[in-house]
Structures are given as structure tokens and as C-alpha cells.
Amino acid sequence: MQVRKAVTRSVLIFGGAGFIGSNWAHHLLKTSAARVHVFDNLSRPGVQHNLEWLQKNVPGKNRLQITIGDIRNPQAVRKAVHSATEIYHFAAQVAVTTSVEDPQLDFDVNLCGTLNILEAARQTGRYPFLLFTSTNKVYGNFRQGPLTGPASRFNCSVQDCVCESQPLDFHSPYGCSKGAADQYVRDYARIFDLPTVVFRMSCIAGPRQFGTEDQGWVAHFLYSALQDRVLTIYGDGRQVRDVLYVDDLLTALDRVGSSSQQTAGQVYNVGGGLDNSVSLLELINEIETLTARKIRYDVKPVRPGDQPVYVSNYAKLQQHTGWAPTLKVREMLIRMEEWWIQNQQLFLTPMPARRLPMSQVAEVPGMAV
């Protein structure tokens, strides 16, 4: 496996204005000497706020470059990738519901966009490190037999935690597009010697996340309670997920990058694990206890592709890098509430999403900050 170390880190973040991308960009700018290039089409509501926050918090000059562009545009992607020594691919269509409504958009963004990035990286001939964030949806609904448990959650034990050897089973167009992209990223390490890493992630939560019922559900639940908005629960609320705080994810990104001689070519399940597993009903109870607010919610049928139970087994990542989660769910909620209190104005005037049809996708030249 080719792993090239460069004297100067030049880090390119696709989806760099999003929740994970902006936190990662800020972390790099604060803790390293790396030059950071944020590439984003600003299609997610609220991400413009993240971009403005980054611009206001840049230490030094000319360390942050911003390109408003789309990964569906191969020319824009090639131009951005040209000088990168590290690439982090967070850009995606993120909702199962959207993938069911518009499978073509989902395919174009998640699979074709990923192939554009891989090809651009390969064609540089410089073997940049590349990390891709995949999803637990690649495993489908793998639970066999009846679901049991108390009134508040389905049962889940350490034996139920999912490791990387779990067979893939792509449910929903979203699972198909992300799963196919996941396999392309993995195969570019095997066939083209590109040092890639795949993170199959569970639920990530933390500040700078403008959650919706389709993505970022922990933030969506908390901020809906704080704003006295009625929630919608799909199913009976006993569905279980493991939750990982974004700062713990940033540590994992640091670890795999600095251990690339071992991690290149690997796939890792990344999440909070059994100790940070929580059902929808349990999270509602935690939020009500924390905020002293009663949460109102409606109940609708389960959505297609929704797993009743998913909890990550992160033992492989821990074995390779020594990484493990540090923050518990209650502490995550406390920190997220504190961020919301300090940034309530962002939720009063949310910025609309910019959904660009393919005919309008174009690059806006990068600007140095």
C-alpha cells in the first residue's frame, strides 16, 4: 500500500460546511499547521452558518480556502483534489426518505460523486490519503427472529453489536448508493493502491448540527424540545441506536490519519457502542429530564429501510489505533443544549437549502481566508 507523507499538509474536505466537515475543519485549523480547503455546495439548511463561523475563527492568514462547488461536477472536483495531500469525503445525500423519493439524485450524489473524487485522487499520481464516511445502512435489517424487550426499548446485548464481518445487505436506494460507494472506496485501495479508509458510522451528534427527522435525529429531538415543536416518531419508539459525540469522531479521524501505514485500505465501524446505545423513547425521557420540558410527539408507521436495532462494535478501530468513545449520551445532550442556548438566533432565521439540479451545477472559484 502506497502511503506518502508530505512536508506540508494540504487537507481537502468535501462537505466541509456540514456538521462533521465544519467541526473537522475547525479542529485542523486550531490544532495543526495544515492548510484546509472546504468544498461544499451549501445544499443543507443551516450550513451557511457553519461556513461563516469557520471564516470568523481562522488562525493566521491563507490557511482556509473555500470552494462553492458540487461533487457531481468532475472538473471542479479534479481542480480541488490537485494539490491535496489528504481528502475527507463527507459530502452526501443523507436521507433514506429522499432516496426513496428521488433515487436518481441519490445515485448521482452518493455514487457518481464519490467516483469523481476517487478518480481525481487516482489521477494525481500522488496517492493522497482519502477517508470516506459510509453508513450503518449498508448492513440492512440484519436482525433475525422476534424483537423483544421492555416497553422503552428493544433488547440488545454485546453479541448484537455489529462488526465489519457482518454481511452487507443494501436496503433502500440510500443503502445502495452509499454501500456501492463504500465498496468503490475500498476497492481503490486494493486495485489502485490508493490509501483509503472507510468509516461505517452510526449516529453522530454534537454542536453545529442542524438536525432534521431524516438525519441528525438526536439534535432534532433536543432542539425540537427546546423550541416546543411537536416531534414525529416512526414506529413505536423502541428502536435502538448507538450515539457518538462529534469530538470523539474527530479523535478517530486523527488516529486513522496518523496511523495510515496500518489503517490504509481498512473499513471500520464507528459509533458509541453498547454503552452509548439509546432508544427513541429513552432519549425523549433524557431530554425531558435535562430540559424540564414535556415533549409532544405524533406516531407514524415505520419508514422503509429503518433498522429496529443498530449498535456498533468498534473493536477493530480500537485494536488498530487505541481509540474509544469518551462522552456519554447525557453529557452530549448537556453540551448540545449549551451550544443551542448560545446560538438560538441561528434557529430563528434558518437559511434555506440550495438544491441544484445537475444542469446548474457549477464551481465558484475558491477564496482564501
User: Which candidate, 134, 150, 287, places its Cα nearest to that of 200?
Assistant: 134
Q: Residue 237 corresponds to which amino acid?
A: G
Q: Would strands 231-234 and 267-270 be described as parallel, antiparallel, or unpaired?
A: unpaired
Is the model's pLDDT at 347 over the cut of 60? yes
**Residue pLDDT, tens place only, 2-41:** 544 445 899 999 999 999 999 999 999 999 999 999 999 9
The phi-psi region of residue 56 (left if phi > 0; otherwise alpha if psi is between -120 and 50; otherwise beta) is alpha
Contacts of 260 (CB under 8 A, 6+ apart): 3, 129, 195, 197
Average pLDDT score over residue span 340-364: 63
Within 10 Å of residue 135's Cβ, how many Cβ atoms? 22
All structural domains of the chain: 10-349+359-368 (3.40.50.720)
- Residues 196-222 pLDDT 10s: 999 999 999 999 998 777 778 999 999
At residue 352 the predicted structure's pLDDT band, cuts being 50, 70 and 90, is low
By the 10 Å C-beta count (0-12 exposed, 13-18 middle, 19+ buried), 165 is classed as exposed
Q: Which of 143-152, 256-265, 297-306 has the lowest mean pLDDT?
A: 143-152
As annotated, the active-site residues are 174
Joined grid coordinates for residue 360: 446548474
Nearest of 119, 127, 42, 57 to residue 354 by alpha carbon: 42
What's the pTM value of the predicted model, to 2 decimals? Answer: 0.92
Could you read off the pLDDT of 162-203 as tens digits, one per residue?
A: 999 999 998 889 999 999 999 999 999 999 999 999 999 999
